[in-house]
Each structure stands twice: as structure tokens, then as C-alpha cells.
Structure 1
Amino acid sequence: MKRPHAVPLPCQVMYLLQELRSRPRTGRESVKPQTLLRRIRMKIVAAMALPLLFLAVPATAAEISTHVLDLAKGVGGKDVPVTLSKKAADGRWVEVTRARTDENGRVRSFGDPAGLDAGVYRLQFDMTAYPNGASAPFFPEITLTFRVDDPKAHYHVPIVVSPYGYSTYRGN
């Protein structure tokens, strides 16, 4: 029996329960009851977790994230210290927060985005210890300055690094 694709979750669970009850008792083509029960549990957990996804998304604050991509190695640059600063009205740079890239070279969030409004921001990457403490990189510090115009938008500002160069762009 073939299932249609866009079936509501309760119907999918009922279908799996029916399949569990009417499955053949012998033969290699039969599906194990444990497999069907696991499918039912996964669908129920997914249905319960879906509303939680909407709670984690801020509605009215700018988000800033970054990513260090190591072009020479083909991997993300892990454990790179990154400082986020904002330019004050008098021209001084005021530190907002600090973070370190994760195992994949990402800083997914610089904390509570509620304080990130429109303005000019700067990301400073301390490359002195990357890829290890014994390295002496040609660019010991990389600084990116960018403008946040829409405080409701997400600003992903990654860098692509190599031993003697780097590049950046606005990602998504």
C-alpha cells in the first residue's frame, strides 16, 4: 500500500500503527515492529519539537554571525578569537562582545541580538594562534568593518583565509 506524500502527522501515525498490526508474521519482506515503533516515536517527537523552533528566532533585532574558512586546508578555522565592536557617535570603537569560533570555524551568535541596532560594526579576528600556537601568520589580525542598516536582518560576515591572503563577503 502506497502512502500519499502530504499526509497530516496524526494520519501518518495511524498508518504506521495499521502497518504494525497488519504486517506479515513471516517472510523476509516484513518490517520489524521495532522499526515501525521507532518511526512512530520520531514523528511524535518531531511534531512536539516543531513549535520550539519558532521560539528561538528573534523578531526585531539584528543578528551578526561569522565564519572562518581555511582555503588551504579546506576546513573551518576553529578556536579563532573574534571581537565585535560598534562605532560610537564620537568615532571611538566600543567593544560589544568577544567570542571564539567553534569546531567548524563558526560564531553563530554574538549573544543577545537585542542590543544590536543600526550602525557601523567591526569584527576583529586574532589570527596569531591560528592554526596553532607556534604559527606566525602573515596577517596576525584581520579587521572587517561593515554597516548594519536593517536591525531586523541577519548579517553573516565570513572570511576566507589562506597563508598570504583573505577575502570576505556578506553571506546568508
Structure 2
Amino acid sequence: MSISLSSHVLDTTLGKPAANMKLALTTPDGQVIHAKTDSDGRCNQWQDFDFQAGEYCLRFFTKDYLQTHHSDGFYPFVDVHFELTENGGHYHVPLLISPFGFSSYRGS
């Protein structure tokens, strides 16, 4: 069973997906993969990276998005650290963002 990863960013103030938000995924060996959300706020394009078990960090660059859509924001970025396990299947890391708060969880 392989491991895969996706993400989805939702703007809870507007009730809409956060499109074109820059992301950076740091892998267990320190490699950094840059990506961005699509028009539906989703991302699953990691440059054909072969996911292995280990600890990862997904950085969401929220500053530009929040300034563009809300003219203000408290968080310039949000880091979500998580662990993928061997034969873990699909992992989904959503981010719910507003100018002054955020939340994340393991989705499906």
C-alpha cells in the first residue's frame, strides 16, 4: 500500500476555498517541495515525490492571501507538523483559515 497526501484550504470567513495559496512541504530528509492550491483550494501535486513514513511539515503561506481577501491577518504562515506511517494509505491535511484564527485536522 502506498502513501499519498493532499490538502485543502478553506477561508471560513468567506465560506470559500483559498485559491492560489503557496505551500511548502518539508520532507523527513529536509527536502522542500513548493506547490500552491488550485482554484478549489486543493493541492495534491508534490512533484511526483515518493512518500515514505516519517515526520513532515506543511507550511501554508497565508499572509498574501489574507491581505488580498481581508486586508489584514495575524498569521503570516501556518505550519502543520504531522507523521505519515508505513502503509498509511491516503493522508489529507486541511486548513481552515480566517484573518485571526486557524484550525487543522486529519481529514479523509
TM-score, length of structure 2 as denominator length: 0.88
Give a deviation string over 1:21-52, Cα, whole Å, max 9, x none.
xxxxxxxxxxxxxxxxxxxxxxxxxxxxxxxx
Q: Which runs of 4+ in 1 moved over 6 A?
A: none
SS of aligned partner of 1:130? helix
From 137, 141, 146, give the equivalent of 2:73. 137
Gaps of 5+ in 2: none
Q: Does 1:70 align with 2:11?
A: yes
Rg bigger for which structure? 1
In the other structure, the counterpart of 1:103 is 39
Give a deviation string over 1:145-168, Cα, whole Å, max 9, x none.
000013451110001111211001
Structure with a larger share of its residues in helix: 1
Distance 1:126 1:95 in 2: 18
Distance 1:61 1:98 in 2: 21
8 Å CA contact retained: 1:129, 1:135: no
Q: Which structure exhibits the higher relative contact order, with contacts defined as CA atoms closer than 8 Å and separated by 6 or more residues?
A: 2
Aligned-residue offset at 1:133: 8.3
Gaps of 5+ in 1: 1-59, 89-93
Structure with a larger share of its residues in strand: 2
Q: CA RMSD in A?
A: 1.9
Distance 1:68 1:144 in 2: 12
TM-score, length of structure 1 as denominator length: 0.57
What is the percentage of aligned positions where both structures have the same residue?
34
AA aligned opposite 2:75: F
